[in-house]
Chain A
């Protein structure tokens, strides 16, 4: 059993490394794409060559980021087929269909319009070029949509029916999968977070030019476009973040409890604005106080999670023990089952699947039908059948708690940052405050920290599930050699490090070079 968990941990680490590396490039593509589209629109409307020069400069940096990031997501698909083969089979077309659509759309939309964007200056009309730039940006966002729809399905599996003959979840309602509230929130939250990162990137580099007393026109105009995109982006991020938290409370209460370090839930539950977790807290029921220090805002968590300041928000202990009231999707009230009850149902579902396969093999139709009924009745808790200890149901609380709070605090900081930038730009005094310009430059890594923290909250927070309640990581895994996964983990680390160094050095070279000379 230890060997299995070691294999799971290494496979998870490898997937996390690849996904986090991929997630360095994607948001910047989304954000920078929007910013260059806005800049080119100004050029199109005014015919001012300075805006064309500005657009081309940022477009070059967009190209560097795109080229280094392209295809890094393919490795994730390799891993699905090799390391997570049970999962890949089990999810069937639900996961495959969005990924296939993404691949085809990304290829045709992005590759066609990117070519016009880079090669088409002076070869196609200004309007056609502008349309290509916008379509590249829109294409990148639509690509992200399909990936996020697939991810959202894993967090809240809807629109499918499990087929015990094929041992696959089969899509029965495409629109439920595409338009699930979890998918919608996730899409807008992730894409607009990309706008924020793109804005911080442009602000930081523009501030660097101002500190060097170079390209003042380009720097201040770029900053203005970026700050407006950033402010719009961060407001959307906050709105969809609130929507996401509500969905998490509904479908992934354990993740919400981990985000807040909440062990014992309550009505009128406060949210933690800032806190330091107690490293002595080892188990949900050890009686150790979870925080060394915390600053709370009364009733806010209840408001966010239930839309009622007096609503009950379950903590980790409550979720394990069950017995608290929950509202179903159809609006009816029911009592939450305990983890032990769900584990029993999960085991019944797994036994029913085994019985069904056996009955089919023997040609015993009546026994197969009876087993299928048992399977259907317990399928919602299928994954709980693999849980041997309730502690496996609890994600790494400090990691999720700190990641969530870092993300939220940085989100607030970015809102303030963009407001300050716009005030200074409209007063035409932005170049006067060198210390502020240095803060703008230093904010760039914080943008990446914020986005990676968000990824950690979403993915570590849902552990142990690869498909919420239906499949844990240790059932999804392929029985490959742990040493093989370790080898590829270190191989990826080396490749990604080299690629990252290449990107950063090419990017720095291009920034220092500045825009094309007039």
Chain B
């Protein structure tokens, strides 16, 4: 849809078609978006899920428990 055709429509529809037109007209951008999506998939659905668990979250449930856990870690890490 051309810019002229968008003029009569409301702001939300103009923004919507602005993005739709932009994505449709992409050439190099399509390759770049494909790379971004693959990258985000690897980061969030492979790395985050399988390799980067929330370490503290698996050892304590409340803030007070986490504080105790970290305090114990910090006061017993190295021999005195």
A75 pairs with B43, CB closer than 8 A: yes
Shortest CB distance B61–A (Å): 14
* B contacts, CB < 8 Å to A: 3, 18-19, 21-23, 25, 28-29, 31-33, 35-36, 39-40, 42-43, 47-48, 51-56, 63, 66-68, 70-71, 73-75, 77-80
Interfacial chain B residues near A74, Cβ < 8 Å: 43
| Chain A nearest CB, measured from B80 CB (Å) | 6
Give the secondary structure class of A's interface: helix
How distant is the Cα of A165 from the Cα of B55 in the complex, in angstroms?
Answer: 21
Q: Determine whether the beta carbon of B42 is less than 8 Å from that of A495.
A: yes
Taking the complex as formed, is A377 at the interface, i.e. its CB lies under 8 A from any CB of chain B? no
- The reply to whether A64 and B28 contact each other, CB–CB distance below 8 Å, is yes
Pick the residue among A78, A386, A480, A506 that contacts B77 (CB under 8 A).
A386
Given contacts A491-B47, A502-B35, contact A85 B55 (CB under 8 A): yes
Asked if A345 lies at the interface with its beta carbon under 8 angstroms from chain B, I say no
Minimum CB–CB distance from A466 to chain B (whole Å) comes to: 13
Q: A119-B25, A123-B18, A167-B67 are known contacts. Are A89 and B77 too (CB-CB below 8 A)?
A: no
Closest to B79 in A: A388
Of A70, A89, A347, which one neighbours B56 at CB under 8 angstroms? A89
Q: Among A167, A350, A502, which residue has the most Cβ atoms of chain B within 10 A?
A: A167
Interface of B is mostly: helix
Contacts known (A71-B40, A165-B67, A167-B74); A63 close to B51, Cβ less than 8 A: no
Chain A, residue nearest B39 (CB): A71
Q: How far is the CA of A86 from the CA of B79 in the complex (A)?
A: 18
Q: Is the CB of A67 within 8 A of B77?
A: no
Q: Which residues in A have their C-beta under 8 angstroms from that of B54?
A: 81-82
Known contacts A75-B43, A119-B22; A491 and B29 CB within 8 A of each other:
no
Closest B-chain residue to A89, C-beta based? Answer: B70
B contact residues around A174 at 8 Å (CB):
none
Q: A63-B29, A89-B56, A89-B66 are contacts. A115–B22 as well, Cβ < 8 Å? A: yes
The docked-state distance in angstroms from the alpha carbon of A119 to that of B26 is 9
Give 11 A-B contacts (CB < 8 Å), ordered by A residue.
A1-B78, A4-B77, A78-B52, A81-B52, A350-B74, A351-B80, A353-B75, A478-B55, A478-B56, A484-B51, A488-B47
A168 within 8 A of B: yes
Q: Please report the C-alpha to C-alpha distance between residue A167 and residue B54 in the assembled complex, in whole angstroms.
A: 18
B43 and A71 contact, CB distance less than 8 A: yes
Are A353 and B71 in touch, CB under 8 angstroms?
Answer: yes
Q: In the complex the two chains form, is A70's CB within 8 Å of B51's CB?
A: no
Within 8 A of B (CB), among A86-102: 86, 88-90
What mask results when residues 495 to 508 of chain A are scored 1 for a CB within 8 Å of chain B, else 0? Answer: 10001001000100
Decide: B52 and A79 in contact? CB cutoff 8 A. Answer: yes
